[in-house]
Amino acid sequence: MYQDDLFEGETAVVTGASRGLGRSIAHRLATCGADIVVAARSSGDLATVADEIESETGSDVLDVTVDVRNVEAVERLAERATAFGDGTVEMLIANAGANFHAPVTELSENAWRTIVDINLDGTYRCCHAFADALAAANTGRVVTMSSVIGRDGTTESAHYSASKAGIEALSRSLAMEWAERDVRVNCVRPGLVATPGVEENRGLTAETVDRDAVDRTLGHPDEIADLTCFLVSPGASYVDGQTYTAEGVPQRPGSG
């Protein structure tokens, strides 16, 4: 979809890259020439992803184990990524996230805090830690990850919904603050996508997705990767502080 030298000489950091959307996004950016720092809590899966991307694309790949709930760990990630990128990081994809289903009345304080801490606070920590490295780039670009649940809400996911809505507001605020530093910040708001988690919970696999079909509400991880790639590309130079929704055909009246 994009030329293989689009991001040549640039460094991209992708959190939550051991599987799902993060894995697809990291691979897409590497295919377009970027050197990649993949980060996630699962070191074993992460090393496998790093090896695959490096062998399939020829890009340099650094894997860093990090828990975005830990401030010091995120700061170490920024230090290692900045050194890997010769002093700058051009792209940050703050994708790390988590969820589980439970009604509000059964959510403990700790359960609520855990999801908000990973999703919203983790996104803030990553953006905060990489602020100077992004500003040192010719034009820094950030993409954060929301969800249509952050827009619409849903049952048994109030904690997740609130955290994702917060990410959208954070992204708009950062875009306004960082424009003078030549850093663009945008957000992606996916609908239902055939990630490994969706396969485990619903039995829907990426192999069943027909990307040529319009009338569908299930996305492929590569479609979110393509949108993310656009938002960090020169083609999106006039796009800042926006949240882009990718959820297929709009729901028909009465379909819910």
What percent of the chain clears pLDDT 70, i.e. is strictly above it?
92
Is the pLDDT confidence value at 217 over 90?
no
Comparing 32 with 44, which gets the higher pLDDT?
32
Is the pLDDT confidence value at 202 over 70?
no
Q: Which residue pairs, CB below 8 angstroms and at least 24 apart, start in 51-59?
A: 52/27, 53/26, 53/27, 54/30, 56/27, 56/30, 57/27, 57/30, 57/31, 59/30, 59/33, 59/34, 59/35
Is the pLDDT confidence value at 252 over 80?
no
Average pLDDT over residues 3-22: 95
160 is catalytic: yes
Cα pseudo-dihedral 243, 30, 71, 140, rounded to 10: -60
Is the pLDDT confidence value at 256 over 50?
no
For the chain, the structural domain boundaries read 11-246
Is the pLDDT confidence value at 201 over 90?
no
Average pLDDT over residues 43-63: 96
d(CA 174, CA 115): 21
Q: Which of 2, 124, 160, 244 is catalytic?
A: 160
Is the pLDDT confidence value at 254 over 80?
no
Is the pLDDT confidence value at 1 over 70?
no
pLDDT at 199: 57
d(CA 48, CA 99): 24
pLDDT at 205: 66
Return the CATH number of the domain spanning residue range 11-246: 3.40.50.720
Instruction: Flag the least confident range among 72-81, 87-96, 203-212, 224-233.
Output: 203-212
Average pLDDT over residues 129-157: 97
Is the pLDDT confidence value at 2 over 80?
no
- Give the chain's mean pLDDT: 93
pLDDT digits (tens, 9 = 90+) for 75-109: 999 999 999 999 999 999 999 999 999 999 999 99
Q: Strand, helix or coil at 246?
A: strand
